[in-house]
Amino acid sequence: MTMMQFLDSNFHGMFFILIYVLLFLSSVLELGSASTPSQLQLEANAIINSGWWNLSSSDSHHICSLNHGIHCNVVGSVIGIKYQCSEGRIQLATLNLSVFKNLESFEVTHCSLHGTIPPEIGNLLKLTHLDFCYNSLSGNLSKLTIFDLSYNSLEGKIPPTIGNLSKLFHLDLSHNSFHGEIPPTIGNLSNLTYLHLSFNTLQGEIPPTIGNLTQLWSLVISNNYIEGFIPFELSFLRNLVFVNLSYNKINGTLFLSLSNLRNLKNLDISHNLLTGPLKPFSVQDFPSLESLNLSYNNLIGLPLLLNAYKVDLSFNNLKGPIPDGLNPYVLKGNKGVCSDILHVQTEYQFQPCLVRHKKLTQSQNRLIIILSVTIFLIMIFSKLLFLRHNRTVVKNKDARLTKISKNGDLFCIWNYDGSIAYEDIITATEDFDLKYCIGTGAYGCVYRAQLPSGKIVAVKKLHGFDATHRHIVKLHGFCLHKRIMFLIYEYMEKGSLFSVLYDDMEAMEFDWKRRVNTMKGIAHALSYLHHDCVPPIVHRDISACNVLLNSNWEPTVSDFGISRFLNLDSSNRTIVAGTIGYIAPELAYTMVVNEKCDVYSFGVVALETLMGKHPKDILSSLQSTSTICEILDQRLPHPTVSVLQDIVVVAIVAFACLNPNPCSRPTMKCISQCFLTRLTPFNIPLHHISLQQLRSRELTHYLKL
């Protein structure tokens, strides 16, 4: 072979070798002293000495090729660390971060990482990506462009200095314990596209400076204590696609702040205190809208047209006939909504539409005028009769009060003629004039009232009436008398969950879908008691006997006989109370009651509902190797694909609630939110899922518990 033939046959290989050499030299020139042998050795020693990896000193020259989540540049300097956990807990302090001068990406997730965030992170000038999610860190924030500290134990207020992170475009501080107000300086993050602050205890109003975040496309501040109006400046964020402000205390009207958000696809402002009219949704206003949830507010009126694929306007104060084409389900819980369709009236408890929106004839108009005049005259005549009768009542009232007091308590007269008691109180307080006010509490003002008999009483006028949660049994009335005391509740046709599960006929009618919906309803009720009531209420006796089912198999939590308010300034110590088999184990030695006691009881009831019997064997041996298929109620047919996912989710939630460590149990708010979230379907067959897998940290994190 001649020299020319040799060069010609190897030309392509030599060409690529030359290109590689040039790239290598350019990298060396660019990195300079950062890639010296001593620098590389320092990085290797830091990785070996951290104890995170099972490495020895002999591996120091092969750090970049060991495929341990360590990424290097062409000269061997570490530019990325992605730690894969095995077992145990690790600390950031054991890894000397100060030596990684070229580090660009640092990820340590789902590792039970604890301790504080080392200040050396602030000196990593090339670091652009940091991810510490699903750990137990505490400490301060750092300067980054992608900043994710979700699912940790960070406390305190969000520092105003966060506004100095001018390059930040992704900020996730969700599922921590931040409190206080959202700092107005957050408006300085002009590059921000993703802001997630949910599941904290943030208070105050949304700062108007949020209108500066013109690049923002996702805004999530749900599950906090945010109050006040939605700032008008929010309408400046025309790139917004996803907005979730649910589970807060936001009030005021709605749509003035959202009128320009034409790219909006998902809007959730449910479980707030919104008031005012519900402006009609139209294609012109929100052409991209796909999902709308405004449930559990105080909105009035009715929409004329909705183009959203998924709508929920339930539990407001909407009135009027159901618009054409709108599913009645989305308007349930609105007592003013009416329908002329019989099965819709029955299923959703809507009233019939008595007033028709039709053009009236001349004779009909004449009839209406005559009836109106007649009714007016009758009202005047009735008023005159009432005034005459009232004077007689005033003369004889003292005598009657004395007579009735002989048969029982003086205030038993309220049980016989409530109008007399009402008139007495209104007269004695001059319609609750402030000059009679002697105190103010969390639920109302207390007034001094002197009754006609001369007796002086204290009257508490409540600030308002909040409707009971739909999954908490409703109290219709009560009677207090020295001979008898009784309460009047709504009637639940199916009786208790216990009686249904232990009756073979009813248990078979209580199918998988109904059982899953029962657990969801109980979770929502307990979330309401723990997180929406002030102060929080702990039930203390959640059991199958205290869950009642109506004729539609909808659950309600009942029997609040041993419930108590949680006092944040008290140890909340108490005697052990509740039903044997449902009581959280820590009560036996701490005697401290908190909401996690209800969480444990909920876990027992959830398993009992799936199994059809009390899970005492599983509770006594949490090391069982059985599959979920083996423990399900055998009286029911095998679950269908449509409900299979929900059954697995309930089982995962149940075992998370039964964690022996109360601090590791999820909150009922997290559980309630989990049941409202659409999850990616599981690909594992039911008979392959063991109880051990259901307790795994991976599945718990999958549900964000």
Which residues are designated catalytic? 541
**What gap in Å lies between CA 84 and CA 52, rounded to an integer?**
9
- Tokens at 624, concatenated: 């069982």
Separation CA 311–CA 313 (nearest Å): 7
In the chain, what are the helix, strand and coil shares in percent, each to the nearest 5? 40, 20, 45
Structure tokens at 441: 């509490």
Residue 418, strand partner residues? none
Supply the DSSP symbol for 592: B
The binding site comprises 461
Q: Using DSSP, state whether 540 is helix, strand or coil.
A: coil
User: Cis peptide leading into 536, omega within 30 of 0?
Assistant: no
Q: Can you tell me the distance from the alpha carbon of 617 to that of 308, in angstroms, rounded to the nearest whole number?
A: 48
Q: How many CB atoms lie within 10 A of CB 308?
A: 20
Q: Which residues are annotated as a binding site for ATP?
A: 461
The C-alpha atoms of residue 695 and residue 37 are separated, in whole angstroms, by 47
Per DSSP bridges, beta strands 273-274 and 336-338 are unpaired
CA gap 415, 287 in Å, rounded:
56
Q: What is the enclosing helix (H) or strand (E) of 20?
A: helix 11-31
**Long-range CB contact pairs, 158-166, < 8 A, 24+:** 158/182, 158/183, 158/186, 158/197, 158/202, 159/183, 160/184, 160/185, 161/185, 162/186, 162/189, 163/187, 163/188, 163/189, 164/188, 165/141, 165/189, 166/190, 166/191
CA 539 to chain centre: 19
Q: How far apart are CA 226 and CA 204, in angstroms?
A: 5
Q: How far apart are CA 559 and CA 472, in angstroms?
A: 10
> Distance between CA atoms of 195 and 163, rounded to whole angstroms?
13
